[in-house]
Chains A and B, each alone.
Chain A
């Protein structure tokens, strides 16, 4: 997939670029309003990560420009403005999603994957990872043609893992993804462990592989390698 990262903060831009760069992905970056406009006039992207506050202009204008030209690039707004109005304005103007800084890269990846999935497969709701078949609409999982029942949180976690396959996801990122950032019980991640244990058990009982690896007590990695 082809991504454009419009972000003026160098540290953040580099981290995102690094995290998204893998086989089959092309990441381009723009640090200013002008650079971003130049890019979107020339190229089309699967998803554009758009910061609202940019030197030289406002990210919202870039979004407007995209929509005026009927470009179908997916747009994910990343902004420090945690304001409901901004969020609504962005979504009203046709952005696909909105993520507030600071965020975990794994969360960003999951959101971008969802946007691209919706765009690329024309609303197809099937997600495939080796033997695991997931119907996102019906929220069902089929492994080797056998349906496996997951709870709501286990299901959400499985999708999250697949979107971030091959990456170490920190426990904080998992907790925030599952319970939102209202929850702040950072010193106690036992409940994550029990979800992971259940997912692993259900996958293996259905004859699937054990894809989840614990990463040094910091987090988990979902990988088929």
Chain B
């Protein structure tokens, strides 16, 4: 829920409740005051009756007045209790209005009479109604004004917040872009801005440290690997190995070769992420793929893999070295995870490059295959090939995706 919506909801509900309570209090108070006035008028009338009776020792003549009706009825002595009542006021024969009445008693010449004085309350009610409608009108108007004001104020006040939010969304740890300082007088937002700037620059700093570490570590590893490699090369010159020893040496070679490739891949990843390989050329993908396929022909033949390539002309501007690595990785993967006698289909169009290969019968986990050191079971690769491929694609704003359409595992580079 948006802050504005929540804020408005709270605001409207409290305003309505407060206004309702005020309205009720208002109504009660006004009713009370007006009733009091009515009652006073009734009492004045009563007093007049008493005065008249005292003076004349008889009941006064009853006139039909405009808003008061008085009636006397004989009643048993002391049977009437004095008090105000809400009753009806008969305007015409069958037309009643709400009224306020005073019940009292008087003794004239030894006879006991009940007095009922009724006054119409129509005007009072009208007044209350007018006051009440004005109140409701004010409430509605106030609500409207509040809503509009909230919208304007909130949108404006929260502008810096949305700017910071947008910057945070765009934040990429590998970019050199910093979160900019936002001009705002609101302390909370400038604090948020500062916190975001500090946090992101710290994250970048840590990330850079980590990358430097990876790079340095890989560099430092190169020399010992080079020594092992050269010592192995020297060792096999010393002849007279038993079969067991040559097997051991072959295994050592394989392991060192893997170690060295792993190391190279790590260095390459750091370089791509640091965008150190910046020079770009026009690359004719059609030619490059054909060259590559010719180069790898032995390997296809060895595994009896059939290659079907449909290559249209496509030129891209990119780093030649990286594109070669990308193509090499994808094609070698298509071979490595293939079975003997399998197929590889390569389609190059103006929009994308599709490399399909037969292989395992179950789809690969799409979210994981591009992460570092993810390897399918039985793979002897470094687990970095697809990570590097993905990084290369990201680097040139291409996208790399995977699909499984039985029996083909499909990798698509979209330009």
Contacts and interface: CB of A to CB of B under 8 A. Distances in A.
- Please determine whether chains A and B interact with each other in the same assembly: yes
B299 A191 contact: yes
Contact of A82 (B228, B239, B267, B296): B267
**Interface residue tally on B, bucketed by range:** 35 or more
| A12, A153, A190, A218 interface centre (most CB from chain B within 10 Å) | A218
Contact of B233 (A170, A183, A188): A170
A167 B232 CA distance: 13
A173 interface: yes
Interface residues of A, number: 46
Interface in B299-333: 299, 301-302, 321, 324-325, 328-329, 332
Given A102-B222, A153-B298, A194-B298, A184 B236 contact: no
Interface stretch (A13-21, A120-128, A136-144): A13-21
Please indicate which of the listed interface residues A15, A176, A195 has the most CB atoms of chain B within 10 Å of its own CB: A15
* Chain B CB within 10 A, most for which of A15, A167, A182, A187: A182
Interface string A82-96: 111100000000000
A209 interface: no
A16 B226 CA distance: 11
B328 to A, nearest CB: 4
Contacts, number: 135
Given A18-B234, A187-B380, A103 B229 contact: yes
A185 B299 contact: yes
B305 to A, nearest CB: 12
B156 interface: no
B254 interface: yes
B254 A186 contact: yes
A84 B325 CA distance: 14
B321 A190 contact: no
A101 interface: yes
Interface stretch (B61-69, B168-176, B184-192, B241-249): B241-249
A186 B230 contact: no
B231 interface: yes
A94 B222 CA distance: 25
Contacts of B253: 170-172, 186, 218
A15 B223 contact: no
B261 interface: yes
Given A170-B233, A216-B243, A218-B241, A186 B258 contact: yes
Interface string A184-209: 11111011001100000000000000
Given A15-B234, A170-B233, A172-B253, 6 more contacts: A11-B230, A102-B260, A173-B233, A176-B257, A182-B324, A195-B298
Interface of B: 219, 222-223, 225-234, 236-237, 239, 241, 243, 245-247, 249-250, 253-254, 256-258, 260-261, 264, 267-268, 271, 276-277, 279, 295-296, 298-299, 301-302, 321, 324-325, 328-329, 332, 335-336, 380-382
